[in-house]
Amino acid sequence: MRLFYFLFLISFSVVAQNPKLGVTITSITTDDISASNTEYHINYQIENKTSEELSFFLLPNALIANTASSLTLYPVYRMYQNGVFEDMDGPFFEYETEDELEYAKIEDKTSAEAKKLITKIQTKQSYVGKYFYKKYKDEGGKSEDFQWIYQRQKLLNNIITLKPKETKSFTIKTLWNKNRFIKNDDLEFYLDENNNIEIELILDLKTNLFKDQLSEEDLVKINANPNFIRGDFVSNKMKIDFKE
């Protein structure tokens, strides 16, 4: 494994800085796992800078491109080449679970290995969905909308709470398919390995966009908590390697 470790090269973006949370990319590792895929581990920390306990919605171990991030639980990422932001839909994509990541690594999706893993993923999702439904009904829930119940519980399960001055570490695991040409509508971007390429994470924390996935009681409880925070929190930029 090639290790590219950059100790806190902090050049904070001027966009939407917020003093309550600090977000720091601490290191990025790469592993050239096949002829068509490189695996990246993006390690980062979230620091509560206040003397109050803070909570927020976040699925911390996946990510999504800035151009596709209008409604998401994931950290958002932005790519820069030679200091210029490029609003590309890629090169990384979201994998919520280790199983999804492992499936993406399999080159032959018709193989017995791939089919076995798909069955495992589907079985696990079915079990989780039924568990969420039973839990909701046991708590007196009235809705019969299985999908809504699933999404509601997924949201509630992805509330992160930080104690005063606490720092938590997370790792995002993702893949690059070694495609250097990335299209976004009519625009096309090229990842030039000779350029200075950097990545930045943004925690776009929100509650109002998820209101349709929560009950009235959930919303009342969340909105009554002054320490359930919203806002944009921007990390440092860190150099990231796309050499082969």
Higher-confidence residue: 208 or 54? 54
The span from the CA of 141 to the CA of 132, in Å, is 11
On the question of pLDDT at 190 being above 70, the answer is yes
The mean per-residue pLDDT over the stretch 131-142 comes to: 96
How big is the chain, counted in residues? 244
Please report whether residue 132 resides in a domain: no
Please report whether residue 145 resides in a domain: no
Residue 70's pLDDT is what?
66
| Domain total in the chain | 1
Residue 180's pLDDT is what?
94
Confidence of residue 12 (pLDDT cuts 50, 70, 90): very low
Beta carbons within 10 angstroms of residue 79's beta carbon: 23
Q: Is 48 in contact with 21 (CB distance < 8 Å)? A: yes
Q: Is 106 in contact with 113 (CB distance < 8 Å)? A: yes
Q: Which of 92, 79, 97 is nearest to 196 (CA)?
A: 79
Please report whether residue 130 resides in a domain: no
Structural domain harbouring 171: 2-106+159-239
The mean per-residue pLDDT over the stretch 121-130 comes to: 97
Please report whether residue 67 resides in a domain: yes
Please report whether residue 131 resides in a domain: no
Please report whether residue 226 resides in a domain: yes
Please report whether residue 139 resides in a domain: no
Please report whether residue 235 resides in a domain: yes
The span from the CA of 227 to the CA of 4, in Å, is 36
